[in-house]
A and B are shown apart, each in its own frame.
Chain A
Amino acid sequence: MNDNIVEIDNLSFGYGNRQLHKGINMRFPRGKVVAIMGGSGSGKTTILRLIGGQLKPTAGEVRVDGKVVHQQSRQEIYNLRRKMGMLFQFGALFTDLSVFDNVAFPMREHTNLQESVIRDLVLLKLNAVGLRGARDLMPSELSGGMSRRVALARAVALDPAIIMYDEPFAGLDPISMGVIVNLIRNLNDALGATSIVVTHDVHETFAFVDYIYFVSDGVVVAEGTPDDLRNSNLPFVHQFVYGEADGPVPFHYAAPDYRRDLLRSTHA
């Protein structure tokens, strides 16, 4: 058995003329929590979609459990996805289903379990995220942190081997953030799964992940354990980790010279 459950080799991807990724290499060892970090719009989420087979790379490949994702048939991709759970940025709970039915959804779709067994399993998952008492609420009645937790319960409903998190901390208060951090770590270790966390929250992430990839301008600019990166001399990593406004990532979006811009008549 291969030690890495997900391997990304020389991956390139882009929309139209815009090249988002230019040859990315990553390894995700079994049992680890790995973070993909980078600025907004650097294509981090797209990497998750490429792993899930929702997008096709323009070059290179993603292998999940040894299988090249984009060469699989639709049915085979669906089979691969049953080994994956994904937490979307804002939960993406089904708004027409209750909390209970949301968590039961993957079980009802993919298993022939009896309703009584499903009930036990759903309560088990909801208990793990601390929301057993909220089972009858509708998604619109939940706070941001709570819906994230319900979505997490739903993502791990079928005990996936890979759990992907898309910006799990976005828009959460510090307490909810701490809760999610603990859940990611504990679920990963309890299920023996591999977690891939896409995020830009340096402080939280450095405290609990095993390995970090930094993505910028379509390539991996740095990688290592949190300790390696904290002591990194690379200007980009330094700017990112310490949150400096200007540096290798410029404050200004590419623009013509400011003085010439101002001097130009208003309607050229």
Chain B
Amino acid sequence: MVISVVLVTFISLTFVGAAILIQMQIGEMKGYWYDRAQVAVYFCTATDNTETCAQAETTDEQKAAVEAQLKSATLEPFIDRYEFESRELAFKNFKERFGGSPGADLASPEFLPESFRVKLKDPTQSTVLIESFSGVPGVHSVRDDRQYLDAILTILNTASYAAIGLAALMLIAAVLLIATTIRLSAFSRRREIGIMRLVGASNRFIQTPFILEGVFASLIGSVLAGAAVVALVHFFVQGYLLETVGNSFGLVDVGDAMIAAPILVALGGALAAASAGIAISRYLKV
């Protein structure tokens, strides 16, 4: 029975830990990307054929007009800083990011647009820029890098909700199992309990060993779950994931897992104490 309590708390709290880690990952990514998140104002290349481009490269005057608008009193308060990305710089960045992937060799500088990379003070206010520059002659498009991130964050958020949902179900199972275990344990010792009540042992004296039994089993499970979460981060995230995807955005590290682990242990202990306390209380009713 104790082993089953250990296992169930172990598994359920591992899910809780995973959910906490995913939320931490989301926070980490938000911090990393929002720090860099930029709105790109792309200029036309000779091959672009949209309303504002008309198969002609953006002229220097048009670029200057855009830059003037960025400096203007209306937009200036929103902008942290901006910089011009020339064709060569864009090509260099492109090769850095996608170098080695098939098709990357086909790219050449003349296909890549020039752009203004604008960093906003508040990354959520990108619509201001998008509205200002859409339809301006020579501007091919205005794109908020954050939209790519939002898709990833949504996926991660959903994953963490799924993990929390699973964890909640498992935790209910764990609580019920602890209650059953303690009730069985109390039943097998009902003679002792009866005599203790008869001779006037205080309720706390009677229930403490049972609550400790539940808490002890659950604490073993919680510590295992904490260890599992730390191991997951150390070997999977910092080992496998780091190697395969690289740390192009912030990944959770062992330090984050070390924050999650004590939360799990505390949660496991508190839940076990509560459920064992309720389970034993019916043996103590006067």
A interacts with B: no
B contact residues vs A (CB 8 Å cutoff): none
